[in-house]
Amino acid sequence: MKARIELENVGGIAGKHAFDIVSGSLNIIEAQNQQGKSTLLKAIAAIYSLPAKSDLALEIASRFGLKSASEKDPEPLVNIGSDKAIINLSLDGETRKCTIEKYGDVFVKPEGDDRFLLTSILTDKSELVRKLQSGERNLEWILRLVSLKTQYEREKFVLEELLRETEGRINDISEKKNKIKSSRDELNLLKSDKEKTEKRIKEIDDKINSLPSVDPKLDKKYKSLLLELDERREKVDRVEKPLREAEKGIKSAEKRKKEADDLLIAFQEELRSLPSDDEIKNQEKNDLEKYTQIPELNIRRERILGKFDVYKSALKSLEEGEAECPLCETGVITRKALEPKIDQVKGDLRKVDNEISKISAEHDNFIKKINQIKPKKKTLERTIASQKATASDIEQEIELSAQRLEVKQKEWAVAKKEHDNVKDKVKEIENLLKISDSGKGALIEELGRFRQKLDVLDTQIDLNEKEISEKFSEEVLGSRIPLDEATQIYESWKNLLGSLIIAIDEKIIEQKKGFAKRFNDKTRELLNNIVLKEFDEISVDDETNIIIKRKGKTQSITSLSSSELNSLITLLQVALKETYSPEVPFFLIDEIMLDFDRETVTKILGYMLKVAKEKEWFIVLAKLGKGQLQIKQINSLENIENI
């Protein structure tokens, strides 16, 4: 398989240039300094790793010279005489594109993966090289990028935050309950005080009634007014209760209306996010136009296959000793003329097959997508209609409740006015009695004070009961529910969150162990294949620390010689590549990293050549040469020794 890399004003290479590299072989980029060896490596690295999303990836990308360290600096991959650099990489019918603006954005399609920077590049600037050379033996930094550990840690953090919030709500409810208890105690005191006051009023009333009257007519009127005042007070109480209920009803309906409106808006937004009927029609038309190309492509495929059969039969004839062929340009069959034609036909066939697969896959995806969108749209339309009806019903309910409330308010106002009128009349007569009947005067004055106290107590009791009733419920997900039920719900939620945190913790540990296991399996396999005399065992423990064993003894990284360290780094980098980024078929090496004993270098490169052949990988090695930039392929173990 061939990959074509096209560069336009990239790094030190001005203008347009194209390079071909081949899978299943070691591609040696050879040139003297300043001829673009590193630029080519960087271009491949950029296309598979940018835009570099994590902080670590950005730092490494900047170290490799793929990205500027700050927004103010020009992008290092843009040629000094140009405003932008363009990199295209075509492989197996697909093209990856990367455009880098000098002081602007980086556009990569499809987007690269941060992991490429950690797993697939071996130069003196690689993270693994820097860490190990500084004596660092922990691989947590790579675990974070190649596993889901960071994501689960983020989830754990959110769950802990939710747990804290829930505990806060439980505490709030508990405080509310305490406050309700003290409000109730206060209410009981007020009620007892009221009882005493009423008793005292009755006693004074009785006393006044037992005294002989100076003005029997006035006295009679006074007694009848007192009875009327009691009746009026009871009437106000009777009217007040339904009035408060009506007020509550309206508040609750208004809240439900808001929830229904919010839900309606959410459904409408969801519907708007889906393509309109016209857009769907256009998309269907476009899909059909593309899909109808398949029969034509199949005809083209048949023709290519026919050509292929003819060439194969010509090749067979050649192998059987017949050299004459009217198809060959020379008039005779020659392998030299035939083989490029067969390659050409194979290439054409692959292109047509790719095109057919691409169109079929796009069509299948489109049909799948449309089959999801259409029923979803219908369901949403039905839901919106029913939600509108619900909102309208609630609105009508609010209107009716408002009318009822108005009636209740009027009734209450009339009752209150009547009560106050009688109260004024009572006061008037009391004043007259005080003047006309000095014997009763003092008692009437005392009675007035107690009646005033009774009014104050009534207001306080009313306020207190209202406060208790408001505190008696808690809002959970937009609905008010009794405190005891809210406590039960939050306690269950708290327990659920707690057990989820424990389960997520286990997943974080699993990620670590899984990382260690996969990595250790690969290094064991590598050591079995390569057989390095320096090391018996290379592994990572559950805490992601590298463990090196030699002759049964654990060895520290700092005790390794420079050559041993380089061979260890190379081995670990290959293990990381094979374990965590095997889907990207590129592995980039700078010759500088292969500065250790020739026997080990040959073993490792031999192993990589084997992997490249098995997996159709492109191994690209930059090497200092004497002339202009050239790329040569090494396909056999024998030639590795000549690198």
Partner 1 sequence: MILVKQDIEIIKKEMLSEADELAKKNASAEEIKKAFTADLKRLIKEV
Could you list the residues that contact partner 1 (CB under 8 A)?
Answer: 148, 151-152, 154-155, 157-159, 161-162, 476-477, 479, 481, 485, 488-489, 492-493, 496, 499-500, 503-504, 507
CB of 497 to partner 1, least distance (A): 8
Tell me whether residue 14 or residue 476 sits nearer to partner 1 (CB atom).
476
**Residues near 175 by beta carbon (within 8 Å), at least 6 away in sequence:** none
Tell me whether residue 161 or residue 641 sits nearer to partner 1 (CB atom).
161
d(CA 21, CA 1) in angstroms, rounded, equals: 9
CB of 493 to partner 1, least distance (A): 6
CB of 159 to partner 1, least distance (A): 7
CB of 515 to partner 1, least distance (A): 14
Tell me whether residue 155 or residue 536 sits nearer to partner 1 (CB atom).
155
Q: Which residue has the tokens 């006393």?
A: 207
d(CA 208, CA 373) in angstroms, rounded, equals: 86
**Tokens of residue 223, six digits:** 């007694």
In terms of DSSP bridges, do strands 618-624 and 586-590 run parallel, antiparallel, or are they unpaired? parallel
CB 304 within 8 A of CB 297: no
Tell me whether residue 284 or residue 491 sits nearer to partner 1 (CB atom).
491
**Residues near 586 by beta carbon (within 8 Å), at least 6 away in sequence:** 44, 48, 116, 120, 617, 618, 620
CB of 578 to partner 1, least distance (A): 22
Tell me whether residue 315 or residue 481 sits nearer to partner 1 (CB atom).
481
Tell me whether residue 379 or residue 488 sits nearer to partner 1 (CB atom).
488
Tell me whether residue 282 or residue 492 sits nearer to partner 1 (CB atom).
492
For residue 82, the SS3 value is coil
**Tokens of residue 451, six digits:** 């009646």
CB of 49 to partner 1, least distance (A): 16
Tell me whether residue 354 or residue 488 sits nearer to partner 1 (CB atom).
488
Phi, psi dihedral angles at 588 (to 5 degrees): -110, 130
DSSP designation for 23: T
With vertex at residue 126, the alpha carbon angle to CA 125 and CA 132, rounded to the nearest 5 degrees, is 105
Tell me whether residue 472 or residue 607 sits nearer to partner 1 (CB atom).
472
In terms of DSSP bridges, do strands 586-590 and 121-122 run parallel, antiparallel, or are they unpaired? parallel
Within its chain, how far is the Cα of 502 from the centroid? 21
DSSP designation for 213: P
Phi, psi dihedral angles at 534 (to 5 degrees): -70, -30
CB of 55 to partner 1, least distance (A): 14
With vertex at residue 258, the alpha carbon angle to CA 255 and CA 260, rounded to the nearest 5 degrees, is 110
Tell me whether residue 40 or residue 504 sits nearer to partner 1 (CB atom).
504
CB 540 within 8 A of CB 546: yes
Judging by beta carbons within 10 Å of its beta carbon (0-12, 13-18, 19+), is residue 431 exposed, middle or buried?
A: middle
Tell me whether residue 154 or residue 335 sits nearer to partner 1 (CB atom).
154
What does the H/E/C string look like for 294-334?
HHHHHHHHHHHHHHHHHHHHHHHHHHCCCCECCCCCCCECC
CB of 152 to partner 1, least distance (A): 6
Tell me whether residue 46 or residue 159 sits nearer to partner 1 (CB atom).
159
d(CA 449, CA 455) in angstroms, rounded, equals: 10
CB 352 within 8 A of CB 318: no
Torsion of CA 576, 580, 586, 592, to 10 degrees: -20
Q: Which residue has the tokens 């408002």?
A: 402
CB of 265 to partner 1, least distance (A): 17
CB of 252 to partner 1, least distance (A): 14
Tell me whether residue 94 or residue 484 sits nearer to partner 1 (CB atom).
484
CB of 12 to partner 1, least distance (A): 35
Count of other CB atoms within 10 angstroms of residue 465: 16
DSSP designation for 430: H
CB of 39 to partner 1, least distance (A): 31
d(CA 157, CA 164) in angstroms, rounded, equals: 11
CB of 499 to partner 1, least distance (A): 6
Q: Which residue has the tokens 């009746």?
A: 231
E-strand stretches of 110-163: 121-122
CB of 496 to partner 1, least distance (A): 6
Tell me whether residue 117 or residue 571 sits nearer to partner 1 (CB atom).
117
